Amino acid sequence: MRIKAPLARTAAALLAAGLLISGCSGGSSPDPSARSSLDSSAKEALKPYATQKLKWRECGVPGFECATLRAPLDYAKPDDGQIKLAVSRKKATGPGKRIGSLMVNPGGPGGSAIEYLQAYAALGYPAPVRARYDMVGMDPRGVARSEPVECLDDKAMDAYTQTDVTPDDEREQEQLVTAYKEFAQGCEKRSATVLPHVSTVEAARDMDLLREVLGDDKLYYVGASYGTFLGATYAELYPERTGRLVLDGAMDPSLPAEQMNLDQTAGFETAFRSFAKDCVGQSDCPLGTKNAEGAGRRLTEFFLQLDKQPIPAGDRRLGESLATTGVIAAMYDEGAWPQLRDALGSAMKDRDGSGLLQLSDSYYERQPDGSYGNIMFANAAVNCLDLPAAFKGPDEVEKALPEFEKTSPVFGTGLAWAGLTCTYWPEQATGSAHRITAEGAAPLLVVGTTRDPATPYKWAESLAGQLATGTLLTYDGDGHTAYGRGSDCIDTAVNRYLLDGKAPEDGKRC
């Protein structure tokens, strides 16, 4: 599961970072031949891509231009077809000398960089940053406007999101396995051409291609959540072309999938305890008004009731899986806690699941007309290429259940079974867990939040320690990611780095 930013921002911005847990993205191992820009044995075949001219056009949002970047479908075989990648930008507004292009990625994998750019980054980033950078977003291959991965039709996706992920017996286990298999088979059937070519390494190579086409000597970049792994991968591939990179809500590329899932499970439990502590201090808390431990037990009991008997939610029904997703969606930002408290109150007291369903729909990018965005499809496709599956089958999940349930009594069971997402994937993983040092890169700024649910703080500590030039900036607080979320201390430090190239003192806390 995953994304970044408050609910007040776009659904894509909210959910991109949270999706990590469905398969858990981790470490694609870069091809050593790709360590510099367009200098592999395929250089001549790649030259037409590097010298292309983008045709910018107006694209419906005032102040923004859009274009299409052509890239090889397979960088190892550039003559074997191409993929078209959607790009948008908002030019530097001035005053001040233009620094370059600042690429942004909201995470996921599967979050639309263009939607994030147009709805938030190019308007909400501090004015001095927007004044001196062209703000640029490119939907990664397989995402949103860039030849999106497709897996299930809307009706089938509705059924998939309601699948019971806390099976009580062998029959329910078989139903869950069938759902994962049908999802994977749908991706293979609908997206066979692009499916083998949506890894993070390939997306990083696309970023370098765009950098070159834009005429920038260095890459300037802000990546959130999964976007930190994309940025770190770029620095590993092209350290000499790495400029100022902000990696906010960092992932740890050295971890295998099962450990990443377990760490995220702990992160969501930590976030829920913070929510519960706040909730029980309110007179209208539907989880009680005594202590956070009791709140967790009440929520678990409520989920068990929904497992047996879903409740009305408008013209639909709310079961355990959708309710759990709704709660998890609200963990990404403490600004959503009042909304979650109201939604739980309506569901638990009035038997009206509409509020939790709304939160769940935002997580899945389900629109009011019943249509879905492709964030969940792209999320699985990238994750399952980047890292081998957490578990080989249900037997391994059952062995791991006690540890997951101990880590999170509320979410542990469902998040353990979510580790089967990549088990039946039609494409073999091309990446593996590994440390990223990016020797020779410019100073890199890693930002971590102490009670981040989706990317636990220890991941930021680990990534900053791995990177040869990594600097850790810490936000002591709740929610997913830190930049642009209300901390003047964080924003000042990041802005100074982006504008002047001066990283804060390593270990600075806000």
Number of residues written out for the chain: 510
Residues with Cβ within 8 Å of 322's Cβ and at least 6 positions away in sequence, in order, are 161, 162, 353, 356, 357, 360
Instruction: Kindly state the tokens that stand for 450.
Output: 């102490």
Is 157 inside a domain boundary? no
Cα–Cα distance for residue pair 104/207, rounded to 1 Å: 10
Is 56 inside a domain boundary? yes
Residues with Cβ within 8 Å of 261's Cβ and at least 6 positions away in sequence, in order, are 21, 24, 390, 404, 415, 416, 418, 419
CB burial of 383-420 (b: ≥16 within 10 Å; e: otherwise) equals bbbbbbbbbeebebbeebeeebbebbbbbbbbbbbbbb
Q: Judge whether 497 and 503 are in contact, CB under 8 Å.
A: yes
Each residue of 136-185: pLDDT tens digit?
A: 999 999 999 999 999 999 999 999 999 999 999 999 999 999 999 999 99
Q: Judge whether 52 and 213 are in contact, CB under 8 Å.
A: yes
Is 373 inside a domain boundary? no
Phi, psi angles (nearest 5°) of residue 411: -110, -10
Look at the chain and report how many structural domains it folds into.
Answer: 1
Is 85 inside a domain boundary? yes
pLDDT of amino acid 9: 30
Cα–Cα distance for residue pair 345/298, rounded to 1 Å: 12
Each residue of 327-359: pLDDT tens digit?
A: 999 999 999 999 999 999 999 999 999 999 999
Band (pLDDT 50/70/90 cuts) for residue 2 is very low
Instruction: Kindly state the tokens that stand for 255.
Output: 């971890």
Instruction: Kindly state the tokens that stand for 320.
Output: 């355990």
Cα–Cα distance for residue pair 459/448, rounded to 1 Å: 8
pLDDT of amino acid 123: 84
Cα–Cα distance for residue pair 494/484, rounded to 1 Å: 9
Each residue of 258-303: pLDDT tens digit?
A: 999 999 999 999 999 999 999 999 999 999 987 888 999 999 999 9
- Per-residue pLDDT, averaged over 360-383, amounts to 97
pLDDT of amino acid 41: 53
Residue among 235, 242, 228 nearest 105 (CA): 228
Higher pLDDT, 24 or 239: 239
Cα–Cα distance for residue pair 317/432, rounded to 1 Å: 40
Q: DSSP letter string over 96-138?
A: S---EEEEEE--TTT--HHHHIIIIIHHHS-HHHHHHEEEEEE
Is 471 inside a domain boundary? yes
Each residue of 171-230: pLDDT tens digit?
A: 999 999 999 999 999 999 999 999 999 999 999 999 999 999 999 999 999 999 999 999
pLDDT of amino acid 3: 32
- State the CATH number of the domain containing residue 32: 3.40.50.1820
DSSP helix, strand, coil percent of the chain (3-state; round to 5): 45, 15, 40
Cα–Cα distance for residue pair 482/486, rounded to 1 Å: 8
pLDDT of amino acid 329: 96
Is 86 inside a domain boundary? yes
Is 313 inside a domain boundary? no
For residue 505, the enclosing domain spans: 11-148+199-256+435-509
Instruction: Kindly state the tokens that stand for 386.
Output: 């980047």
Each residue of 425-445: pLDDT tens digit?
A: 999 999 999 999 999 999 999
pLDDT of amino acid 290: 79
pTM of the model: 0.93
Taking residue 167's Cβ as centre, other Cβ atoms within 10 Å add up to 20
HSE (side-chain half, CA atoms, 13 Å) at 11: 17
Q: Judge whether 146 and 139 are in contact, CB under 8 Å.
A: yes
Which positions are annotated as active-site residues? 225, 452, 480
Is 65 inside a domain boundary? yes
pLDDT of residue 498 exceeding 80: yes
Mean pLDDT score of the chain:
92
pLDDT of amino acid 60: 81
Band (pLDDT 50/70/90 cuts) for residue 11 is very low
Beta pairing, strands 57-58 & 82-90: unpaired
